[in-house]
Structure 1
Amino acid sequence: MKFKGIIFDLDGTLVNSLEDIADAMNSVLQSLNFPTHSYDAYQYFIGSGLRNLVTKALPATHNEETQIDQCYHLMVAVYRDNCTRKTKAYEGIFELLDELKSRNIKLSVFSNKADDLTKEITAALFPDYFNPILGLTTESLKKPNPFKTVEISKHFGLKAEEIIFIGDSGIDMQTATNANMCAVGVSWGYRPEEELISNGAKYVLNQPADLIAIL
């Protein structure tokens, strides 16, 4: 099978955004006199959307829905103003994207980050590489629901089997499998390789250039 399209996760796959996300959430926690968390802890909070991250970051004693809603809106407001302060592409990503573009492979981004933030960060760091760029608009449609990946395949005009889905988490691998796409994990992200393999990764990349061999 010749692969003609690739869907990338954003956080932990294309970009290291952990510090900006953690800093925004920690600033909210500090403002409320709640305990903050280390960057290492945030590696396991990221991946299922910012609302889920807020839920995990709040203390168990202050985790009711109204508190989550309040902190979510506060966190998004802070993060929106700082979402590209420390965030940067992983080493080798630009070279990979240029190679893929030269091969006329169709490229897209699908993230569980809020749709407007996904578009803002991707457009700022990767202009002219990806179409479409999709983030979270409806909780029920977030990964591992394959609905949006199927929509991307229609936009590409490709069969699911012709598309690689690349991500750094078990949720990404589940999404690929649910969509009948080739699940490819990356070892440089926020989750261990064991999680990727146990959730269906067909390949695990140790550096971006490793993808070329799969193609």
Structure 2
Amino acid sequence: MAGRHWTRRLEDTPLPQEVPLRGPLLLFDVDGTLLDAGGVIADTMVTAFEAAGEDPPEAAFVQSLIGLSLPEMVDVLASRLHPDRREKILSGYRLRYFDLIEQDDPSPVFPGADAALGRLRAMGFVLGLTTGKARRSTQHMLSTMNWHQYFHTVQCADDNPSKPNPTMIARALAETGRSAENTILIGDSRYDMRMAEAAGIRAVGVSWGYNPPVELVREGAVAIARDFDDLVAIVARVAAQLAPA
């Protein structure tokens, strides 16, 4: 797995309004694809369980569920508990997570992510986000990284059903005027792959996230990227096979 580091957008990277919107739509997952947030998510979830007086889940199990929206993740992790107890865990997680990310250093970005986004924008692709993160934490990431102007559509958990429901993709298509035939999803989880399949779009998996690449292939990924340079090459190759935007 690639290590994490902290970075900001390169000042000479073309911004969306500077690049013709001629290319296909690329929809990026966030946690496990752009951000290495698995450790923070798992630690915060364990703390939320402990604060509620419940036995915490294993960190590896928490990370394997990243991709689901938070309420759905808690439902899986606390399936044996009464709904009131799940709500307590959910509230405790939100409080701790928002405090942590908004008071801590900038978001941990996988090496090569920022440069790859710039290269893809310069190639004319339209970029979007489809994430199970809350809008508050997503907007914090975009502001911290100066990424707001990269993305023409941002679909978050607040406004959409959890993955693998394809509503996020449908709304992203509507907002950008693209069709399923000229859209590619990039993600690291089984839920990303299932969402892409449900929406009828191609999906590319990444090897540095929280689900094994073999599982992503089994769930429908057309290719697996080894790193961000490889991802740019794969996306260009897959996009050449798509219908015109």
Q: TM-score, normalised by structure 1?
A: 0.88
SS of 1:165's partner is strand
Partner of 1:133: 154
Distance 1:31 1:43 in 2: 19
Q: CA deviation at 1:38?
A: 4.7
Give the 3-state SS of the residue equivalent to 1:97 in structure 2.
Answer: helix
Partner amino acid, structure 2, of 1:133: V
Aligned twin of 2:212: 192
User: Structure 1 residues 206 and 115 mapped into 2: Cα distance closer, same or farther (>3 Å)?
Assistant: same
Match of 1:68 in 2: 86
The percentage of aligned residue pairs carrying the same residue is 28
Q: Does 1:174 align with 2:194?
A: yes
* Cα shift readout 1:52-95 (whole Å, capped 9, x = no counterpart): 332344484xx110100111011101101113637411111111
Displacement of 1:119 after TM fit?
2.7
C-alpha contact (below 8 Å) 1:13/1:167 kept by paired residues = yes
**Greater Cα offset, 29-38 or 16-25:** 29-38
Q: Alignment length, in residue pairs?
A: 211
Q: Which amino acid aligns with 2:100?
A: N
Deviation at 1:134, TM superposition (A): 1.5
Aligned to 1:111: 131
Distance 1:165 1:126 in 2: 22
- Structure 2: distance between partners of 1:184 and 1:36: 33
Q: Which moved more, 1:179-188 or 1:35-44?
A: 35-44
Whether the 8 Å contact between 1:119 and 1:134 is mirrored in structure 2 is no
SS at match of 1:184: strand
Of residues 22-31 and 89-98 in structure 1, the stretch that sits farther from structure 2 once superposed is 22-31
Q: Name the SS for the 1:67 alignment partner.
A: helix
Contact kept, 8 Å, 1:89 with 1:125, in 2: the verdict is: no
CA spacing shift, 1:78–1:190, aligned 2, 3 Å: same
Alpha-carbon distance in structure 1 between the residues aligned to 2:146 and 2:128: 11
Q: Name the structure 2 match of 1:158.
A: 178
- SS state at 1:13 partner: coil
Contact 1:3 1:163 in 2 (8 A): no
CA drift at 1:5: 1.4
Between 1:162-171 and 1:35-44, the stretch displaced more is 35-44
Does residue 212 in structure 1 map to residue 223 in structure 2? no
Query: Which secondary structure state, in structure 2, belongs to the residue aligned with residue 188 of structure 1?
Result: coil
> What one-letter code is carried by the residue in structure 2 that aligns with 1:53?
M
Matched, 1:78 2:99: no
User: 8 Å contact 1:8–1:167 — kept in the other structure?
Assistant: yes
Q: TM-score, with normalisation over the residues of structure 2?
A: 0.78
Q: Which secondary structure does the structure 1 equivalent of 2:184 belong to?
A: strand
Q: 1:212 to 1:200 in 2, by over 3 A?
A: same
Residue type of the alignment partner of 1:93? A
Distance 1:160 1:131 in 2: 16
Aligned-partner Cα distance in 2 for 1:25–1:114:
15
Greater percentage in strand: 1
5+ unaligned residues in a row in structure 2: which ranges? Answer: 1-21, 237-245
1:91 aligns with 2:86: no
Please state how far the C-alpha of 1:37 moved relative to its aligned partner.
Answer: 4.3
Cross-structure match for 2:24: 4
